Amino acid sequence: MNPQLQNPISYVANNPVKYLFPSVDALETFADIAFTAYSGYLLIDAITNGGNVREAAVNFSLDAGSSFVPFVPAAGTIRRAAGKANELTGSQKLTSNQIGKQGEELVDSIIGPGQRQVTYNTPWGDRRTDIKLPTSINEVKNTRLYNTRSNNLQAMKDQLISAQQQVDAIWHLLKGGSPNAIKNLLDKGITVVDHQAKTTTRNYEP
C-alpha cells in the first residue's frame, strides 16, 4: 500500500497529475457550471433582444469547453471581462478638447498667468488665442503639428494679429511638429517653442 495515501496531510499523494483533491474538484466543477450557465443566459438574452450574438456564442463555447478541462478557468468569462475592461479604458480616453485644455494649462503655468481664449477679428474670421499676455499671443498644440489648411489659416490670422497689436505670436508645440509645418510658422514671423525638443526658434534660416 502506498504510505502517502495513508497520510492525511499529503495532498493527492504528491501526484496532482494523477489524483485530484475531491473538495477542489467539486469547487471547480461548481464554478464551471455557474460560469457556463451565466454565459448561456447572456447568449439567450443576445438572441432575444438583438444583442451581439456572435460575441455571446463565442464566450459560451469557451466557458462550456473549459468545464471539461481540469484546472482551466472559464475562458469565456475571462474574455468577456477583458472586453469590459477595454471598453472602460476606451471610455476614459480624453477628447481632443480635453487634450488641448491640458496643454493650455501646462503652458499657462510656465509662461502665465495670462488671459485665456481671447478673440480677435480678422478678414478670415474670428481668431481665439489660447493664452494672451501683454506682449504676446500664444497658441498651444498638444498634438504633433502638421502643415494642414487649418493650421495654416490659424498662422495667417496670428501673423496679422501680431502686426496689428504689436505683440509676438508664439506657438507652443508640446508634441513637436513636422519640418514643413514649423517652417511655415517661421516664415510668417511666428516664434516656435518646441517643448519636446526644448528649443525656441524665432527666424527661419534656409
Residue position matching grid coordinates 464551471: 32
96-201 CATH: 3.40.1350.10
Q: What Cα–Cα distance (Å) separates residue 100 from each residue in 12, 35, 93, 105?
A: 61, 44, 13, 9
* DSSP conformation letters of 47-83: HHHT--HHHHHHHHHHHHHHTTSTT---HHHHHHHHH
Instruction: Tell me the pLDDT tens digit for each residue of 96-138.
Output: 777 778 888 888 888 878 888 899 999 999 999 998 999 999 9
Q: Are 127 and 161 in contact (CB under 8 A)?
A: yes
Q: Return the pLDDT at 206.
A: 42
Angle between helices 22-49 and 53-66 (to 10 degrees): 170
Q: What is the mean pLDDT of residues 170-184?
A: 90
In one-letter notation, the amino acid at residue 141 is: K
Q: What residue ranges do the domains of the chain occupy?
A: 3-91, 96-201
Rounded-to-integer distance, Cα 43 and Cα 164, Å: 66
Q: What is the pLDDT of residues 82-95, one digit of tens each?
A: 665 555 555 456 67
Q: Record the pTM.
A: 0.54
